[in-house]
Structure 1
Amino acid sequence: MDKPLILVVDDEKDVADDLAETIADTKKYQVLQASSGEQALQIIEERNKGMLKRDKNKVKLVLLDIRMPGMDGIQTLEKINEIDNKIGIIMVTAYDLEEYWMKSMIGSEAMAFVTKPYDNNKVIQLIDDFFGGKEKEIAQRYLNYFWQQPLIDQLKEVEAKVKSLEQEQKKID
C-alpha cells in the first residue's frame, strides 16, 4: 500500500528534522522537507502538477511554518491552494495566532494549527485524523477553540483586574 506524502516546511532545520522524524517514525507516511515557501511550492508543483503527478507521488498534506524569511507561511499557503486546493494544510507556529489564524483559516482554509513546542502525539493525531477523512471535524474543532479562547483569556484578565481592585478597595477601607 502506498503511504501518503507529507511535506514539512520550516526554515529552522532542527524543527523540520524533528517534525519529519516524528512523522516518519509512525511508518504510515512518506515525508519530504522544504526550508522555505519557495522550495515548498517547487516540490508541490513538480509532484502535483508535473511529470510525477501519479497519485502516490502527490503531496497530500503540508505542515507549514507561518513565520519564515522571504515568502511567509500565509503567502505560501495561498500559492499552494492555487496549485492544488485539495492539499491539507496544518500551520505550525511559535507566535501569537490570532491575526494569522484569521487570515489563513478563513481566507485560505488551513485546517488546523500546531503551536511550537508541539506535542508529538497531537501532531500525529491531527495527521491521522486528516487521512481518516476527519479534516472537517478538525477544522471545526480548531475554529471553535480559536473563537472561544480569546474570550476566555479576556475573561481571566477581567477577573484578575476585579480581584486587584477589590484588594485596593480593602486597603482604602
Structure 2
Amino acid sequence: MKRILVIDDERIIRVSCERALIPEGYGVRSVSTGEEGLALIEKEPFDLILLDIKMPDMDGIEALKRIKERWPEMKVIMITGYGAVETAVKSLRLGAFNYIEKPFSPDTLLTAIKEALEVE
C-alpha cells in the first residue's frame, strides 16, 4: 500500500483528500502544519506528500525546502488556492513533482498522484 501524507491547514482539504484516496487503496495520514508534517515524516515512511503552499506556521515552500534537503527522493505535489504561476515555478524548481490548484476534483488529485508514483 502506498502511503500519502497530506499537509494542509484547511480541514476540508485534508478530509476531501482522505475521502478520495482511501477507497483507492492508499494509506493516508494528514496534519495541519508544516512542523507537524516534518515531525511525522521523521517517524513514518511515506511515498508521496501533498503539501499546501499557504499555511500559517511555515509556508509550503519552506516545508518543501526542508523535505528535499532531508529526503531528496521524496515525491511532493504542491496544492494551493493561490494559483500564482511564479509560486508554481518556484516549487517545481525546488523539487516538487507537480502542482495542483484548489479546488481540485478527486480525478485531478488521483491522476497527479498516479503520475508521481509511476516515476522512479
Tell me the TM-score normalized by structure 2: 0.93
1:34 Cα offset (Å): 1.0
Alignment of 1:15-164 (within 5 A): 15-27=13-25, 29-47=26-44, 58-106=45-93, 108-133=94-119
User: Which one has a larger percent helix, Structure 1 or Structure 2?
Assistant: 1
Contact 1:45 1:83 in 2 (8 A): no
Higher share in strand: 2
1:102 Cα deviation after fit: 2.4
Report the aligned-residue RMSD: 1.2
Distance in 2 (CA, whole Å) between partners of 1:84 and 1:129 is 19
Q: Distance in 1 between matches of 2:48 and 2:22?
A: 14
Matched pairs, number: 120
Matched residues, percent identical? 33
**Match of 1:80, SS?**
helix
Q: 1:9: which partner in 2?
A: 7
Give the structure with higher Rg (CA): 1
- Once the two structures are TM-superposed, the CA of residue 70 in structure 1 deviates from its matched residue by 1.2
SS in 1 for 2:4: strand
Please state how far the C-alpha of 1:127 moved relative to its aligned partner: 1.1
